[in-house]
Structure 1
Amino acid sequence: MHFRKRLLASITLSLAFASALTCSTALAQKDWPTRSIQLEVPFAAGGPTDSIARLIAVPMGQYLGQTVVVENVPGAGGTIASTKVARAAPDGYTIYIHHIGMATASALYDKLSYDPLTSFEYIGQVADVPMVLMGRKDLPPNNFKELEAYIKANGAKVTMANAGPGAVSQLCGLLLQSRLGVKLTNIPYKGTGPALTDLLGGQVDLLCDQTTQIIPYIKDNRVKSYGTTTLKRLPAIPNVPTLSEQGLKGFEVKAWHGVYAPKGTPQAVLDKLNAALKFALNSPDVKKRLEDSSIDVVSMDKVTPKSLKTQLENEINAWGPIIRKANIPD
């Protein structure tokens, strides 16, 4: 009899503790955040991803009532930062912005300490950075049709710069070569900055780069512009046709960006982060500053976990075969 009473008392106490713990957790999530949030960026300061992160961090912090601090964790094509975030506490105080590199890592690296699809929670897409295929100013072809003939006639004699294995500039070059059925001499750099410098200096023939830093050079005719990697012409450079309209139908490469959190982050926290991201992207100042750099803010129906997950899955399936066939790094 005494045993049964003690057992019932123990069960009652356990249930009360569990209930209190549940209420405490729910209350903590309701009050979240109570301190600053780290927004991890997998590249050095000053690049397109870092610029986008710093633009959205301020209004996100305003919405959440806490500072969102941008932290740069560069190296290994973004995999160092991805590993750090995947291992971080799933409490919402560590979030992550990454571009198309999130989709290409599994094809580029034999072993990853995380799974791009299952090690993270999805918050939403952010923005797309388009690209332009450019040539040195004294390269003989004057338009893409002439460039296509020139490439097929010269093959590996044509040099194409990129920002290193897995960079969007390299992916653009690989897709171009795949669509044209040619193999160029691909020259990796430690970023698009030095690659662009050598293109401007005439040391390399071609470069596919993001619009954030090349629009002034295009407008000043310091490079030859052969086409944008978008399906529609860019308002900032309306006279530059798309590669798609010039024969490479459907050719599209963009440095799309998304925001993630560690796997297991509570849904209530994810909902707040998603609302904060939407608030930031709806900010007139953020929109204008992004658009001034020819960066396209995605429509609000894409600023969702489902949309980001679908985008990541589609990009993994699209780029995996191209990367493996190219045997990167080459």
Structure 2
Amino acid sequence: MTDDRAAHGATGTTGTTVRIGVLGAARIVKTALTQPAHEVPEVTVAALAARDPARARAHADRLGIPHVHDSYDALLADPAIDAVYVAVPNGLHATWSERALRAGKHVLVEKPVTANESEARRLAQVAEETGRIACEAMHPLYHPLTDRVRALLAAGTIGEIRHLEAHIAFPIPSSKDIRWSYELGGGALMDLGVYAVALLRTYAGATGPAAAEITEVVQAKAPTRTKDVDRRVDARLRFAGGATGRIVATMWGWPPLATRCLVEGTKGRLTVLNPLGPQMFNRITVTAAGRRTRESVPREPSTYACQLRAFARAVVDGERPRTDAVHFVPTMGVIDAIYRRAGLPIRGARVADPVADEVA
């Protein structure tokens, strides 16, 4: 694939393979990118850059990434790179995603897409100005499990949606983990709650886009572990269609992995077990008309492979990804509103370390 974007359309591609460069020597790169790339022939992971070139080389060698650049800017200047996977800490997502877009690269950025709504709106504007794709790596939304849940809800299986809940728990015990840093965009809401908000908006929108909008954060509690960094968040929401919602997300305590969603309707209820990692296990339970039915969707392909394939289609064919600005701007607006209601500052109010690059 060449870099002759003017001659070959808005996507800037001439072939069917998207060459991706990685910003950040993060552990998530293996799970979210290099492993699923083996299942997606439309992409190749071509290069990596990190703040420490030696660390970048070691990480690239472990993951089988052939090229290493001495800096993020050097990778962005590489004409052999078509798109960038941004795996730096949350507080730096906006900065490096914008630089990548202005360098002519498409962007797949780890969740949450930015530190706050203002940054998300700016990123959307830059993507529009540059004609490049900015896509949040909200991988569960690309899996057939989400499609099946939406289909059941759209079919009126449980009637009109009246209430939705999402519960997510994953402990981060080490106080040195960057997810406990306010400056780097840490917090349970940012790390886990953003999944909950995205899932509930997606489920609520099964009957129409307007129903997905969250119009009010009625109540929010967010006890902290470190200064201004929430260890747990419990928020009550109101949707445009009249439904109520609740999200509970915690990085403190046990069980080590507990993820489930609930949708209650006028005719019954639907529960989803493990919507974040359905490739490990999943189950949908519907209780309606006096009957209870259970089903699962095939575990493979993984959420990450589904996401990567969709991103490649967006770059090569211009197919709109599910998690572009229409998705991520309103989601970040809800995140900001929850923090404000809980009495905590939104993320991004204090400057992040410009060279940190490690995430889980």
TM-score by length of 1: 0.41
Q: TM-score, normalising length from structure 2?
A: 0.38
For the pair shown, the structure with the greater C-alpha radius of gyration is 1
Higher RCO (Cα < 8 Å, 6 or more apart): 1
Q: Is the helix fraction higher in 1 or 2? A: 1
Q: Which has the higher strand share?
A: 2
